[in-house]
Amino acid sequence: MVYAVSMQNHMPYLPNAYGADSISVTADYPERLRKELETYLTGLRDADRELARLTQYLSTRKEPVILLFFGDHQPSIGPAYYHLSGTLKQGLQMEKQLSEVPGLLWSNKKELLSNANIPEGISPSYIPGILLRQMGVDQPPHMAFTGHGINDYPVIHRNFIKNGDDELVPFSQMRQEPFIRGLEVLSYDVLFGKQFSSGM
């Protein structure tokens, strides 16, 4: 397993950070946001090109490969962009909008992902279990437990939960649900406790 972290496209989005090959934004936004968008979009284009190079290389490998590509948060310019473009939502929908990030799950062997059955939007806490299951690796008990909630509670955020019916519910209203309580106890055990749930 390789866990690689890139600082590509991390803030600050300084003007002309990528030189003459920068993307030009002509939208009617404040100058500072427009310049930051130009830098961000140029970095995004470059990251996309490098992702293409990586998948092209991995597709030539004989051994099975699963690649997960994702960002851990939205760019800092997100709220300003949503507000100025008139697309900023309200309430829990805004919380969800500001916390969503795209991801890509790719494999050089199609059969490795053919039975993934992954909901369209999920919390990152489900990813390790999904990857282990797809690779045929036994999951530790706490991870197996987590996997049981993916269809009923696909998104668990500190302020809301998206349930299996695609409804957003305040986290405070769901905290006493048996699965959520169990997840809280297991998380404490793994992070701060004696790791009884790790199966070790």
**Comparing 83 with 200, which gets the higher pLDDT?**
83
Let me know whether 6 and 76 are in one domain: yes
pLDDT band at residue 5, thresholds of 50, 70 and 90?
A: confident
Let me know whether 107 and 132 are in one domain: no
Tell me how many domains the chain contains.
2
Let me know whether 10 and 69 are in one domain: yes
Let me know whether 20 and 45 are in one domain: yes
For range 120-124, the mean pLDDT:
89
For range 56-80, the mean pLDDT:
91
75-119 pLDDT, tens per residue?
A: 888 888 888 888 989 999 999 999 999 889 899 998 888 766 788
* pLDDT, position 199: 64
Let me know whether 7 and 77 are in one domain: yes
**Per-residue pLDDT at 200 exceeds 60:** no
Tokens of 71: 């960002």
Let me know whether 7 and 68 are in one domain: yes
38 within 8 A of 15, measured Cβ to Cβ? yes
Let me know whether 94 and 144 are in one domain: no
Final residue belonging to a domain, choices 114, 133, 161: 114
Let me know whether 101 and 132 are in one domain: no
159 within 8 A of 171, measured Cβ to Cβ? yes
Q: Find, among 38, 103, 100, 48, the residue nearest to 73 by Cα.
A: 100
For range 57-72, the mean pLDDT:
93
- Range of the structural domain that residue 2 is part of: 1-114
Q: Find, among 154, 183, 172, 161, the residue nearest to 96 by Cα.
A: 161
**Per-residue pLDDT at 188 exceeds 70:** yes
Let me know whether 104 and 41 are in one domain: yes
**Which of these ranges, 44-53, 113-122, 137-146, 149-158, has the smallest mean pLDDT?**
113-122
Q: How far is the CA of 198 from the CAs of 48, 64, 186, 194, in angstroms?
A: 37, 27, 9, 9
Q: What is the largest CA-CA distance in the chain?
A: 58
* pLDDT, position 198: 73
